[in-house]
Structure 1
């Protein structure tokens, strides 16, 4: 399968300074060796607890954050170290929708000024053309043309997010990073925004990296799902496989936490024990095994726990602490085959 985006062993570490001379004493390993691939027109859901590195990964892909190491390849071009000038034409095709529309929209600018800005930066349009384009964008996201002369604070949360979506699609990108675009919205509004994103994907052929912590939301929109824990991908598979046949213990715990609409149905919850390890000083072995105090944790100390293909297109970390005995025996018997990008083949 061809890929519009490929991320290879990406790391984003933030230095920690201490002491009188403020020397670096460590690093926050927000993203610690992530590999994945996204095909044209595909939606890859990225899920995990708050603080696992999801948003940092998204911002690194669009180069709002500087990667520490690894590679980011977009449409065949390595953009890992691209400067401001080199990124400008690429940003036409690679955009981002932010989690909080209140913070991401300039309160001093009218909606028209916000939506005209991408066209002004990239040039080639007249004021009359921009006025027409803004009206078309507002219509496409379900807002009246009169909205253009109002300011962000005059809109509801769902309407503000529609403005953010309009800004992201203004230049007709090929891929959009969606950083928890519905988490700050009421449940009744979430479905409207999700349906809008799906409609835009069908109309424009967009690819999405859809970041969220709500697995119920991700199920509705994603073709494949990647589960992230403490800066690493621990499971990656089709949406159906993740929800019907999860392999990793962390994935199972996340799925068991999804509320069920039937209050009379008995559900077995897999409650997580222990605390999330610090990304400044992560465990030497299995991060999740350390958290739950698994008896096989010592076996994983100092070892790489790469993604392996346990079923066709279903990748999971080769971690004895997090797999059922039968699955671990299968992984051990077949041996480790690296998953260079995590993309379906």
Structure 2
């Protein structure tokens, strides 16, 4: 059947990751030969639309931060594609990579380590402008003042040093640096996990405000599912270098399908004591396997209460599930629910 000529084609994703792998060599022995690899990211697929926030959740060591650093090309991937605005960045270099980096920025977890203690705030925020040759000294000074005002810092902050600020203020400096070039995508690597709880909501609200005003897209990396639910349109659950579940935020909290996702959601603190008393906590047995020597078959099977012999020998693919009925009053799921499991539990 010929497609309707008046029907608009689906929009191309801003970011599309296909079969991405990041294997770090493990050097051993007298001659430090690399006989094994740390499979931090091991064949991962995901996409991100313009203006969308995709939350990425998983235990420490599952490869979340490594994935983020691959996307902004702080790491060069071992294999796979990183299609950003239709261009493959996985193996780009030189001028081609620099041109795309204007549109890709990162907010780091620790604002103490990510800000140069020897530079003033003005130098830190203006550095992206200097590297890309944007404006002269006077226009960059004016731009720095505008950026500091945008993130809620006074103009006199420009001549001070990072150690003179609180943790939340330092993270605002990092955010100002990230938006200096007018990017389209920002990778937020646990941007509030190092902050006091009272400050976290302020920084999250700032990120949401900037997204609305500047048309930003976020890959929001975190281990706190409650925080991710607050800011994300979709949520991807990562385990040992792979995505095991992906769905709209409301859907994945209302109807988690993977045993790992269910365990993570059961660990979210419940503020209501009455509801907390009746909440069933799912405690996983064992530890996260080593990415140097991952289990055969499904990587989660040593900790899964539903594992079978098939799980031990056959790795499940990430597949789209049949649509489910929405809960009363809930919005219909806009994107497919994807699951990496042999069984629809």
The normalised TM-score by structure 2 is 0.91
1:12: how far off? 0.3
Out of 275, 293, 296, the residue aligned to residue 284 of structure 1 is: 296
Work out the CA distance in 2 between the residues paired with 1:302 and 1:14.
Answer: 25
Residues paired across the two proteins, number: 321
1:212: how far off? 0.2
Say if 1:141 and 1:165, in contact at 8 Å, map to a contact too: yes
**RMSD over aligned Cα, in angstroms?**
1.1
- Correspondence for 1:133: 143
Out of 211, 219, 224, the residue aligned to residue 201 of structure 1 is: 211
Say if 2:121 and 2:162, in contact at 8 Å, map to a contact too: yes
Work out the CA distance in 2 between the residues paired with 1:310 and 1:246.
Answer: 12
Corresponding residue SS for 1:218: helix
Q: Residues 209-248 of structure 1: CA distance to partner in whole angstroms, max 9, x if unpaired?
A: 0000000000000000000001110000000111001000
Out of 70, 84, 87, the residue aligned to residue 80 of structure 2 is: 70
Work out the CA distance in 2 between the residues paired with 1:110 and 1:17.
Answer: 39
Work out the CA distance in 1 between the residues paired with 2:20 and 2:289.
Answer: 20
Say if 2:258 and 2:341, in contact at 8 Å, map to a contact too: no
- Which of 1 and 2 has higher RCO (CA within 8 Å, sep 6+)? 1
- Correspondence for 1:307: 318
1:293: how far off? 6.1
Work out the CA distance in 2 between the residues paired with 1:128 and 1:206.
Answer: 27
Corresponding residue SS for 2:273: coil
1:295: how far off? 4.7
Q: Do structure 1's residue 256 and structure 2's residue 279 form an aligned pair? A: no
Q: Residues 243-296 of structure 1: CA distance to partner in whole angstroms, max 9, x if unpaired?
A: 001000000000000001112322110111111111100001112112246550
Out of 250, 253, 261, the residue aligned to residue 240 of structure 1 is: 250
Out of 159, 167, 186, the residue aligned to residue 157 of structure 1 is: 167
Out of 182, 207, 221, the residue aligned to residue 192 of structure 2 is: 182
1:85: how far off? 2.6
- Correspondence for 1:273: 285
Out of 303, 317, 324, the residue aligned to residue 340 of structure 2 is: 317
Work out the CA distance in 1 between the residues paired with 2:40 and 2:127.
Answer: 32
Work out the CA distance in 2 between the residues paired with 1:249 and 1:37.
Answer: 23
Say if 1:274 and 1:292, in contact at 8 Å, map to a contact too: no
Work out the CA distance in 2 between the residues paired with 1:164 and 1:295.
Answer: 44
Q: Give the ranges of 4+ consecutive aligned residues of structure 1 lying more than 6 Å apart after TM superposition.
A: none
